[in-house]
Chains A and B, each alone.
Chain A
């Protein structure tokens, strides 16, 4: 029974910053009986200090999983100022989130269990075991928790897929021309639901392509979540959408009465914004 002694010796050597010694003791202890999460982190650090990067990453990953199994608050978001700046900031209730057609982590952070990969599965998602990450905070803090949780889920999905890779050709030759038809596809992108509409006409050119990016869906929620917040919260709330500004660099205005549609480009929007603030706010 050398385990407790080796753990003690390892911790003691770690405190002295004797990395090699600490690493040896902890590794022996780990072989005899798997270490606890805190000791795993020590082992990872010693491996890093000795320049063994592969071992460092492997052990750190084990420590991370052990943390998750223990159901501990994610260390990444355990910071007083971070919590102070994000908790209760930009709150959206589940009802507001659904009313503004939010999608992705924004929606799930308000406690709505909706994910295209589960609710309208595509590709191999039905075959992979994974769970939808939701949170009931509804604020920027909750959105962070959801995103960090999804990182872990995504890693697990990738690992599961690699382990269960089916037989078959890796590369296939696509047909030269797409057959005539229309497709509307929905994907769960990191920012939320991404919708593509494609119409093809038996050539190698696409006849019509429409994209609805998740940022566009999430943007409008700012009108609700910013009410009653401080000026200093604006960057926090806006950044929590994880906005893809190049996805929203144009606006299509549909006038139902005149039966007209008009698209404003990025340059026009920019000029419009400057003119608006100069005239209305005297900036």
Chain B
């Protein structure tokens, strides 16, 4: 790809600009679907963007005894990490910056928001924020293992560490959601836990610890952190759609090339929105778990299921090469 085109890809579409717009749309749909499920009216389309602008304009308060700089860079780092991770997610076709091992890079970058939340909570000098930050990391250790194992299974079967190549593999084979249903379910649950949404909103449990690590966030820091979580929702949905639902590629070739790109983009939208719908339904249907209960569920069932899936994949690779 040419350099100007690449810059366009990174900054405009499907890079930063599209990503932020789509993240706002995701937040709107998440809130609207939730509202309709609870027989409420829900926000208008512009609400997430209006919230963002409003919070940017608000005063930014730094708690006493906290270094301003640390409080400023943590949300920025989290946002930069998830926005970078999105570059490796196939949107209109295989990503132009793809390389062997970008799956691991995406997983690493998606972990950074949780770390940033822990740092924020720890720095806040506020008991609620500290407890929330510690809970965020505890939760990280619980869901990360099954989530990584579940996403590892498609890589093993496709024999590649590149998300784009896994998508290409699925164009000529059945989707991994069909081949690895256990891994698909574990990945969805892990994604929900990663995004700290009910029933895994333990780090920010507002009835117990105000808002957890978010307690001392104000103004543009809060706006940026909210946006980070929405972008992580888009990136996570895109990743699961690419790994398990075949991503933006059609199994047959389309002519001309722009039609294929358009169809791929449509598929990306449809698949990510379907995943969002599942995640939102989960959020509305359940109450919050306790951290010890999550520990039981995560290590007893989710991790076992993910390991089982990996073994099944290894066995399938040995005896039934697809």
Q: Which residues of A contact B (CB under 8 A)?
A: 79, 81-82, 84-85, 230-235, 283
In chain B, positions 270-322 with a C-beta closer than 8 Å to chain A are 286-293
* CB of A192, distance to nearest CB on chain B (Å): 23
Residues in A neighbouring B288, C-beta threshold 8 A: 81, 85, 232
B290 touches A85 (CB 8 A): yes
Contact A85 B208 (CB under 8 A): no
**How far apart are the CA atoms of A84 and B286 in the complex, in Å?**
12
User: In this assembly, does B171 line the interface, its C-beta being within 8 Å of a C-beta of chain A?
Assistant: no
Q: A81–B199 contact, CB under 8 A?
A: yes
Distance A81 CA – B289 CA, assembled complex (angstroms): 7
Q: At the interface, yes or no: B127 with Cβ under 8 Å from chain A? A: yes
Contact of A82 among B205, B287, B290, B291 (CB under 8 A): B287
Number of A-B contacts (CB under 8 A): 32
B245 part of interface (Cβ distance < 8 Å):
no
Q: Say whether, besides A81-B199, A283-B127, A232 and B286 are in contact (CB < 8 Å).
A: no
B199:A231 contact, CB within 8 angstroms: no
Complex alpha-carbon distance, A164 and B107, angstroms: 70
* Nearest CB in chain A: distance from B170 CB, A: 34
Residues of B with C-beta under 8 A to A230: 290-292
The answer to the question of B39 belonging to the interface, with a C-beta cut-off of 8 Å to chain A, is no
Question: Distance (Å) between the CB of B298 and the closest chain A CB?
Answer: 14
Question: What are 8 A-B contacts with C-beta separation under 8 Å?
Answer: A81-B287, A81-B288, A84-B290, A84-B293, A85-B288, A231-B208, A232-B202, A232-B288
Which of A84, A231, A232, A235 gathers the greatest number of chain B CB atoms within 10 Å? A232
Q: Which residues of A contact B263 (CB under 8 A)?
A: none
Q: Which residues of B contact A283 (CB under 8 A)?
A: 127
Q: A81-B199, A81-B287, A85-B287 are in contact. Are A231 and B207 (CB under 8 A)?
A: no
Would you call B131 an interface residue if the criterion is a C-beta within 8 Å of the partner chain's C-beta atoms? yes
Contact B287 A231 (CB under 8 A): no
Query: In the complex, A283→B125 CA distance in Å?
Result: 8
B residues engaging A (CB < 8 A)? Answer: 127, 131, 199, 202, 205, 207-209, 286-293
Chain A minimum-CB-distance residue to B293: A84
Q: How far is the CA of A230 from the CA of B296 in the complex (A)?
A: 15
Q: Which residues of B contact A79 (CB under 8 A)?
A: 287
Q: How far is the CA of A233 from the CA of B205 in the complex (A)?
A: 12
Give the complex CA separation of A234 and B128 in angstroms: 14
A84→B289 contact, CB < 8 A: yes
Q: Are A235 and B208 in contact (CB-based, < 8 A)?
A: yes
A85 to B198, CA, bound (A): 14
Q: Which of A81, A233, A234 contacts B286 (CB 8 A)?
A: A81
A279 to chain B, nearest CB (A): 15
A75 to B163, CA, bound (A): 45
Q: Complex formed: what's the CA distance from A235 to B208 in Å?
A: 6
Nearest to B125 among chain A residues (CB) is A283
Q: How far is the CB of B211 from chain A (nearest CB, A)?
A: 14
**Separation in Å of the B157 CB from the closest CB of chain A?**
33
Contact B208 A234 (CB under 8 A): yes
Please tell me if the beta carbons of A231 and B131 are within 8 angstroms of each other in the complex.
yes
Q: Which residues from chain B contact A233 at a C-beta distance below 8 Å?
A: 290
B292 cross-chain contacts in A, Cβ below 8 A: 230
A118 CB to closest chain B CB (Å) equals 34
- How many angstroms from the CA of A222 to the CA of B199 in the assembled complex? 26
A-B CB proximity, top 6 nearest: A81-B287, A235-B207, A232-B290, A81-B286, A235-B208, A232-B208
Asked if B287 and A232 make an inter-chain contact with CB atoms under 8 angstroms apart, the answer reads: no
Question: In the bound complex, what is the Cα–Cα distance between A119 and B258 (angstroms)?
Answer: 82
Q: How far is the CB of A122 from chain B (nearest CB, A)?
A: 37
- Extra contacts besides A79-B287, A81-B288 (11): CB < 8 Å: A81-B199, A84-B290, A85-B289, A230-B292, A231-B131, A231-B208, A231-B209, A232-B202, A232-B208, A232-B288, A283-B127
Residue of B nearest to A86 (CB): B287
Nearest B residue to A81 by beta-carbon distance? B287
Specify which chain A residues have a CB less than 8 angstroms from the CB of B291 in the assembled complex. 230, 232
| Smallest Cβ-Cβ distance to B207: which chain A residue | A235
Rounded to whole Å, the gap between the CB of B254 and the closest CB of chain A is 36
Q: Which residues of B contact A85 (CB under 8 A)?
A: 287-290, 293
Closest to A283 in B: B127
Chain A residues in 8 Å Cβ range of B287: 79, 81-82, 85
* Nearest CB on B from A52, distance (A): 18
Interfacial chain A residues near B202, Cβ < 8 Å: 232
Query: Across the two chains, which residue of chain B brings its CB closest to A79?
Result: B287
Q: Is the CB of A232 within 8 A of B205?
A: yes
